[in-house]
Amino acid sequence: MYIFGQPVLRKVAEDIDPENYPNLQELIDNMFETLRRSEGVGLAAPQVGLPIRLFIVDLDVLSEDEPQYKGYLKTFINPEIVEVSEETCSMSEGCLSIPGINESVKRPSKVLVNYLDEKFEEHELWLEGFEARVFQHEYDHLDGKMFIDHLSPFRKQIIKSKLIAMTKGKFNASYKCKANR
Ligand code: NI
């Protein structure tokens, strides 16, 4: 897992040519394995060091409490946000690349999205609830953004020293990390 401070997390990722990307399925499988091991719900390619427009979401891990997410393992290739709702909501977010920090983030409640799945089939649909939230968080990673960018100057100030420590490799995570030291 690439940790805050790694330059790849701040790059705008490139579109994938899905029919001409070597070992794409293998990469996707590896990302799902990494995600399971880190006990997260979403993982974007820049978080594993690749500046390409791909992320995966595993809501199946929540299905014991939220049965509607049973089998929810989705791959999003070259995703786009077509439209967002005016209505917003706040939810607590964390990120595997920013271990130990959770903050409330305000985002649109619903998003109309477009993407290719792992079979390169195109989908366009409205997402809402937790699904919309995770999509927007992961989508940010593809534009070199992170959830902390959405915080107020006050909240940013509160977490600043933790972030500086993180760039020096001072943080705790239960998974394998690549930090800038
Ligand atoms: Ni994240």
d(CA 72, CA 180): 33
Gap from CA of 51 to ligand 1 centroid (Å): 14
What local confidence, expressed as pLDDT, does residue 19 receive?
78
Express as a percent the part of the chain with pLDDT over 70. Answer: 99
Question: Which domain covers residue 94, as residue numbers?
Answer: 7-167
Residue 12 forms part of a structural domain = yes
Residue 173 forms part of a structural domain = no
Residue 25 forms part of a structural domain = yes
The per-residue pLDDT for range 77-102, each reduced to its tens digit, is 999 999 999 999 999 999 999 999 99
Question: Which among 95, 137, 92 has a CA at the least distance from the CA of 1?
Answer: 95
Residue 35 forms part of a structural domain = yes
Residue 176 forms part of a structural domain = no
Residue 69 forms part of a structural domain = yes
Gap from CA of 165 to ligand 1 centroid (Å): 18
Kindly list the distances between the CA atom of residue 112 and the CA atoms of 57, 84, 92, in Å, as whole numbers in the listed order: 17, 6, 22
- CATH of residue 121: 3.90.45.10
| Number of domains present in the structure of the chain | 1
Q: Which three-class secondary structure state does DSSP give residue 5?
A: coil
The pLDDT of residue 67 is above 80: yes
d(CA 159, CA 102): 10
Q: Which residue has the higher pLDDT, 145 or 180?
A: 145
Active site residues: 138
CB 169 within 8 A of CB 2: no
Residue 178 forms part of a structural domain = no
Gap from CA of 45 to ligand 1 centroid (Å): 10
What local confidence, expressed as pLDDT, does residue 181 receive?
58
d(CA 59, CA 50): 23
